[in-house]
Amino acid sequence: MITAFRRLAGTWFSKVLFILLILSFGIWGIEDVVRNMWQDNAVVRMTDGKIELPEAQVAARRQLSQLQRQLGPRFEVTPQMREAVASQAVEGLVMERAFSAEAVRLGLVTPDTAVRDYIWAIPAFHGPDGRFSRLQFDSFLRSNDLNEAEVMRLAASGLLRQQLAGAVLAGAAAPDALVNPLLAWRDEKRTADVVELPFLSAADPAPPTDEQLRRFHENNPDRFSAPEYREATIAVLSPELLLPEVALDDAALREAYEQRRGQLGQPEKREVEQVLVSDEAKAREIAAAWKTDTAFADIEAKAKEAGGQATSLGSVDRNGLPLPELAEAAFSLEAGGTSAPVQSPFGWHVLHVSKIEAGNTPSFESVKDQLQRELGLEKASDLAFERSNKIEDALAGGATLAEAAKQFGMRAETVTIDANGLGADGRPVSIPVSGQQRSEILRRVFTTATGVPPHLDEIEGGAMIAVEVSKITPPALKPFETVEADVRRVWTNDQRRHEQEVKAAALLAAVKAGKPLADAAKEAGLEAVRRENITRQPPQNAAPGTAVPPQLVAPIFGLADKDVTMAETPDGFAVAQLVAVVPHDPSNDPLGRGQVRAEVTQEMQSDIEQQFAIAMRAKADPRVNPAMLRQVLGGQ
């Protein structure tokens, strides 16, 4: 019997029967089991793992929330934008996994203490005193829908990425063949004859008629219209407002003191002097001389002979030195000590420490009030967050913003305001916040439509705001009679501008016809001033009337010899004719070479880092499942 079955299994009849059985299983529903055997629920599969749908959804929702906070409640997120956000979030996870896998392969680790110090050093988490602020940190967590463990993970991942990138970038340095031409271009100087025609120097035009003024008023509505005004209720809930409700005992303050001891007080500082030269041998000679002759004037002379310079950096802490290698060298010396030459992109440095100021940690009593405020604000921030949920519930239940504000201790005001924060009288309108928070509230007011239910949003500084717009008054042309003086003033200024533009154009035409600018200006009753040492980056603090108008600089550097150009400035018009080009010799400028080398090296490192990231991604070999990607933010 068994032999017969074996013979039957090899016949075409048995094969057809087997296919029919499979089809019948499909009718009974077993096809779901078969199909799921090959179904892939991962959004991305990689060489070293996969990214599951829930993880991708969390990352994408976080990015979408950030986008919506930035663009305001009226901004509608389109399906295309949701798709782009999902793709971006998944790509971020792919790159994080790719670098983590490489770090594991190389045996790299990041200690928890290093992660903590890294987070404490992030400026966004610092308070007004420049130190780590728990209040700012918690505000960041809430604003970005994160928890502390996730931030620690992201920071650790970032540090690992820095370690990997640091190894790849270690050998990057800009060569002289690139540095010298760039420095020569950057520091080239030019000489030009310049004629300036200020608007205020133009003759007063003939008085306008009433008809001219009225027509000018009608033809320029943007200049003489009242802005859009909005009537809105603005409510704010901030830790500052709730601070009086927070009670702290000495035990809590002492615990905070012990935890923050490292952030309190003053760091160690050192009086540091530096020599910078381009040659290592000369740097060693100066270092040897400095160990026996500490007179700074003598060292300064030696540095000058070596083609470098000596400078006093003053009293600095470790973070006050521009490069880590310089900080390490300076803070490893005793008072009166001189370092061995230290190389950087700028050249060779020799450092001398003339004085050491020890750091200090203040007593508990001396910082008790500071801790009381800092810890109180942290607790008040938690209280504000708890209360915000109740406010949201009240608003969802139909309460007006004014009612919710009164019930839960928010500070609220109803104002009529324009986009610049001014009232109808042209004066700033008082609203419950100031500074950057004021700008954010104005943005919210002018991106919210009437009738939109208010909701709480967290803004910079940990404050929570809600806005309810009740009325919008569109821009309207002011009656001529109320702005006649303004119309007359603007009309007069326009006539003066036109007169100076005509004169400048005449000078330009005369020079293009072959006449020197100085002669053309003299014939027109004007004066051409010769400006020397014009640079591509003019000084910011030049005295008025001593420098070329910034609007002329780029055109002057685009001129050939004796060519002419013209530009409008905020105060008038200016015409310039190129007189001479003064080349710059990089071989006589070691400091300039060092600056350009550092800038170019940084750009090279950025390019290399991008190439390294591309290589890591290729090594990870991510394979995206399009069907699962569409589900990341609820697509079909």
CA distance 202 to 573: 11
**pLDDT score of 71 more than 70:** no
| CATH number where 469 lies | 3.10.50
Do 216 and 237 fall within a single domain?
no
Which residue in this structure is represented by tokens 């600089």?
Answer: 553
518, 527 contact by CB (below 8 A): no
Residue 592: its H or E element? helix 590-620
The answer to whether position 518 is within a domain reads yes
Determine contact, residues 94/621, Cβ cutoff 8 Å. Answer: no
Q: Is 314 left (phi over 0), alpha (psi -120 to 50) or beta?
A: left
Q: What is the dihedral of CA 597, 601, 602, 608, to 10 degrees?
A: 170
Per residue in 496-553, pLDDT (tens digit) is 999 999 999 999 999 999 999 999 999 999 999 999 999 998 777 766 667 899 999 9
- Neighbouring CB atoms inside 10 A of 378's CB total 21
Shared domain for 149 and 298, answered yes or no, is no
Instruction: Please say which residue of 477, 510, 527 terminates a domain.
Output: 477
Is 610 among the domain residues? no
In DSSP terms, 428 is beta-bridged to: 422
Residue 280 falls inside a structural domain = yes
Q: Which domain holds residue 283?
A: 266-357
Q: Among 118, 369, 112, 117, which residue's Cα sits nearest to residue 262?
A: 117
Q: Distance between CA 536 and CA 559 in Å, rounded?
A: 13
What is the mean predicted confidence (pLDDT) over 605-632? 90
Number of domains in the chain: 5
Within 8 A by CB and 6+ apart from 417, the residues are: 229, 230, 232, 423, 429, 431, 442, 445
Whether the Cβ atoms of residue 399 and residue 412 lie closer than 8 Å to each other? no
pLDDT at 12: 40
The answer to the question of residue 196 being in a domain is yes
Least confident piece of the model among 20-29, 343-352, 466-475: 20-29
pLDDT of residue 179: 94
Q: Are residues 217 and 230 in the same domain?
A: no
In this structure, the strands spanning 189-198 and 529-534 are antiparallel
pLDDT of residue 542: 67
Q: Please choose, from the candidates 577, 578, 571, 580, the residue with its C-alpha nearest in 3D space to the C-alpha of residue 550.
A: 571
CATH number of the structural domain spanning residue 310 = 3.10.50.40
79: pLDDT strictly greater than 70:
yes
At what angle are helices 53-71 and 79-106 packed, to 10 degrees?
120
For residue 126, give the nearest of 263, 323, 265 by alpha carbon: 263
**Cα→Cα distances 452→45, 437, 444, 498, 587, Å:** 43, 21, 12, 48, 66
Give the closest residue to 204 by CA, choosing from 2, 420, 593, 488: 488
* Terminal Cα-to-Cα distance of the chain (whole angstroms): 55
Q: Residues 324-340: what's their mean pLDDT?
A: 91
Q: Within this chain, do residues 351 and 204 fall inside the same structural domain, yes or no?
A: no
Q: Which ranges of 355-408 does DSSP label H, i.e. alpha helix? A: 364-396, 401-408
Q: Choose one of 477, 511, 535: the last residue of a domain.
A: 477
Is residue 314 situated within a structural domain? yes
Range from 228-237, 261-270, 451-460 carrying the lowest mean pLDDT: 261-270
| Residue 197 host element (H or E) | strand 189-198
Do the strands 347-357 and 411-417 form a parallel or antiparallel pair, or are they unpaired?
unpaired
Instruction: Please check whether residues 166 and 66 belong to one and the same domain.
Output: yes
Q: Is residue 278 part of a domain?
A: yes
Q: Where is pLDDT greater, at 204 or 433?
A: 204
Residues 70 and 164 reside in one and the same domain: yes
Predicted local confidence at residue 103, as pLDDT: 83
**Band (70; pLDDT cuts 50, 70, 90):** low
- Cα–Cα distance list, 108 to 46, 468, 615 (Å): 20, 52, 19
**pLDDT tier, 16 (very low <50, low <70, confident <90, very high otherwise):** very low
pLDDT of 189 reads 95
344 or 543, greater pLDDT: 344
* Cα–Cα–Cα angle for 595, 334, 294, rounded to 5 degrees: 70
Q: Is residue 85 one of the residues assigned to a domain?
A: yes
What is the model's pLDDT at position 33?
38
* Pair (51, 23) in one structural domain: no
Model pLDDT for residues 100-132, shown as the tens digit of each residue: 888 888 777 777 777 888 888 888 888 776 777
Separation CA 128–CA 46 (nearest Å) = 44
| pLDDT tens for each residue of 596-613 | 999 999 899 889 989 988
Q: How confident is the model at residue 388 (pLDDT cuts 50, 70, 90)?
A: confident
Compute the average pLDDT of residues 580-585: 95
Chosen domain end from 416, 451, 477: 477
What are the structure tokens assigned to 197, written together? Answer: 């025609």
- Decide which of 52 and 106 is more confident: 52
pLDDT tens across 158-211, in order?
888 888 878 888 778 899 999 999 999 999 999 999 999 999 999 999 999 999
Q: With beta carbons less than 8 A apart as the criterion, state whether 445 and 227 touch.
A: no
391: tokens are: 């406010």
Q: What is the CA radius of gyration of the chain?
A: 35
Among the listed residues 145, 74, 76, the one whose alpha carbon sits nearest the alpha carbon of residue 444: 74
What pLDDT does 18 receive? 41
Amino acid 553 reads: V
The span from the CA of 394 to the CA of 400, in Å, is 8
Beta bridge partners of 316: 270
Percentage with pLDDT > 70 across the chain: 90
pLDDT for 67 equals 77
Residues 6+ apart with CB under 8 A from 630: 83, 636
Name which of 529, 548, 536, 532 is nearest 191 in CA terms: 532
Sign of CA dihedral 546, 551, 554, 558: negative
User: Average pLDDT of the chain?
Assistant: 85
Question: Do 551 and 576 lie in a common domain?
Answer: yes
Q: What is the b/e burial string over 288-306, where b = at least 16 CB atoms within 10 angstroms of the residue's CB?
A: ebbeeeeebeebbebbeeb
Q: Is there a contact between 347 and 590 (Cβ–Cβ < 8 Å)?
A: yes
Task: Say which residues have a Cβ less than 8 Å from residue 361's Cβ, sequence separation at least 6.
Answer: 261, 264, 265
Q: Kindly state whether residues 404 and 351 are assigned to the same domain.
A: no
Band (72; pLDDT cuts 50, 70, 90): low
Do 79 and 53 lie in a common domain?
A: yes
Closest CA to 76 of 63, 89, 88, 67: 67
- Region 273-281: mean pLDDT is 90
Whether residues 124 and 209 fall in one domain: no
Q: Are residues 77 and 164 in the same domain?
A: yes
The encoded tokens of residue 623 equal 């394979």
Q: How confident is the model at residue 560 (pLDDT cuts 50, 70, 90)?
A: very high
The helix or strand, by DSSP H or E, that contains position 477, with its residue range, turns out to be strand 476-477
Gap between the Cα atoms of 317 and 129, Å rounded: 16
Per the domain annotation, does 182 fall within a domain? no
The full DSSP string for 147-180 is: -HHHHHHHHHHHHHHHHHHHHHHTT----HHHHH
Distance CA(271)–CA(293), nearest Å, equals: 17
pLDDT at position 499 is 96
